[in-house]
Chain A
Amino acid sequence: MYIKIDHNSGIPISAQMVDQIKYLAVSGALKGNDKIPSVRALASELKLNPTTVARVYRQLEADEIIYTQRGSGTFIAPRRSALTKNEKERRLAGDIRKLVVEAGRMGMDFDDLMLLVCDEIEAIRGSQGKKHKPGKGKREGKVNEHR
């Protein structure tokens, strides 16, 4: 699992990790039921405090991005579409408004904003299209870096 942490950005490390693992899951770099490293293995790999990684896993579990099976490890949860279309829209409305307001505040052309959003969707679609092979995750994860 390729994760890049910026230690001096001021963004909580756990928030950076949650974002990136969600991205890997949504983009298809990590597929449903893929096994992910244990808390300690990931903490050792990233040279992080295990309590920080445990916090990330708790958050991801609450968000239903991962699930843990006692004795066998932690896995990416298969994507669910249990939410109704209305509910999904309701949950996203706030974030979308914030994005539009922020763009407006900076005086950005809304057409340009649309293009940016489309680019981001294309990037995720592009990586979803690729068949994920073990060991390839590292390269695919890097899609994240340009953000």
Chain B
Amino acid sequence: MNIVEMDHAVRFFGATPAVTDMCLAVPKGSVFGLLGENGSGKTTSIKMMMGALIPQEGTVRVFGVDPLTLKPEQRARIAYIADDMGLPNWMKLSEGMALHRSYFQQWDQGVADERLERYGLRLNQSFGTLSKGQKRQFLLTLALAQQPDLLILDEPASGLDVSVRRDFLDSLMELANTREVSVLLSSHILTDVERVVDHVSFMKKGACVRQANLEDMKEGIKRLCFSENQDRDVLLQSFSILQEKQVQGGYQVVVEDFAAERMDGLDCHVEHLNLEELFLVFNALSDVGAVR
């Protein structure tokens, strides 16, 4: 079952397209990475999932229903942290927590206390005195104590230094290991995301260029490096080509259906692609219009 689904969703702001044709399916229990450059439509897509923006065309489903029709108790199963979110600066953490707790029946104070202690946050501090990293940690504390079934994080790690980012992402993995939760996070810091996500969707200019299980993608997509010219037709018989490049002293192709047993007779060196390289391949693909 999919926790979140988008089917050809479209959203313009005036004449400016933000999301032009977005399809996405977040499987239950997955940690899903919504990836793309700034301005590719990630935040607009998330706002449509949250029911904060209405798609002008297409459909969005969360827990199988239109997010606008979610009942309060269903909505309480979603936790959402955005990049620019916060509490009023004068508000004490204790007040912020009491306010937040009042909305959620499933609130687990034990989870909150454990997080506060781990992060070294004191309840009599006011929100404004926290550093950027601490603010994010406090928001995560609130989100986790809410015991969500779906956690949506819009650029959760941006602007944080590397150790705080790592800790933040490790916390997500702990959560995924302690209870069944689906996580959707958007990011443009791919090396971070690579550690935690199992599914990814690459967005470009308001549309999804490719969605897949990351491990499947890494198994299937490889770069073959030939030291001399390779007969392209022979190659095409065995593989489907995503990208090809003539380089000095050789020829390189990225194939999407790599299988070792079909490598017989091909004299080349096989390179693995990490998430960043995969992203660049699909980013370049969509430029020439060869989407999917």
- Show the binding face of A for B, using Cβ within 8 Å: 7-15, 40, 43-44, 47-52, 55, 98, 101-102, 105
Residue of A nearest to B274 (CB): A10
Nearest CB on A from B264, distance (A): 9
CA distance A44 to B179 in the complex (A): 12
Contact of B121 with A by CB under 8 A: no
Residue of B nearest to A50 (CB): B177
Kindly identify which residue among A12, A44, A51, A102 contacts B174, using a CB–CB cutoff of 8 Å: A44
Q: Top 7 A-B pairs ranked by shortest CB distance?
A: A10-B272, A10-B274, A12-B218, A44-B177, A12-B215, A47-B173, A10-B273
CA distance A121 to B267 in the complex (A): 27
Is the contact region of chain B dominated by helix, strand, or loop, or is it mixed? helix
Query: Count the B residues whose beta carbon is within 8 Å of the partner chain — how many?
Result: 30
Contact of B146 with A by CB under 8 A: no
Contact of B176 with A by CB under 8 A: yes
Kindly identify which residue among B170, B227, B274 contacts A9, using a CB–CB cutoff of 8 Å: B274
Among A7, A43, A55, A101, the one with the most B-chain Cβ atoms within 10 Å of its Cβ is A7
Residues in A whose Cβ lies below 8 Å from that of B263:
98
Residue of B nearest to A105 (CB): B267
Given A10-B272, A10-B273, A10-B274, also A51-B195 (CB < 8 A): no
Contact of B219 with A by CB under 8 A: yes
Residues in B whose Cβ lies below 8 Å from that of A49:
31, 173, 176, 196-198
Residues in B whose Cβ lies below 8 Å from that of A55:
215
Kindly identify which residue among A10, A13, A44, A98 contacts B173, using a CB–CB cutoff of 8 Å: A44
Residues in A whose Cβ lies below 8 Å from that of B177:
40, 43-44, 50
CA distance A15 to B218 in the complex (A): 10
CA distance A93 to B227 in the complex (A): 25
Residues in B whose Cβ lies below 8 Å from that of A50:
176-177
The A-contacting residues of B in range 231-278, CB under 8 angstroms, are: 263, 267, 269, 271-277
- Between A and B, 10 residue pairs with Cβ closer than 8 Å are A7-B191, A10-B273, A11-B272, A44-B174, A47-B170, A49-B197, A50-B176, A51-B198, A52-B215, A105-B227
Contact of B66 with A by CB under 8 A: no
B173 x A8 contact (CB < 8 A): no
CA distance A11 to B198 in the complex (A): 14
Contacts A11-B218, A47-B196 given; 8 further ones with Cβ under 8 A? A7-B274, A9-B274, A47-B169, A49-B173, A49-B176, A50-B176, A98-B263, A105-B227
Residue of A nearest to B177 (CB): A44
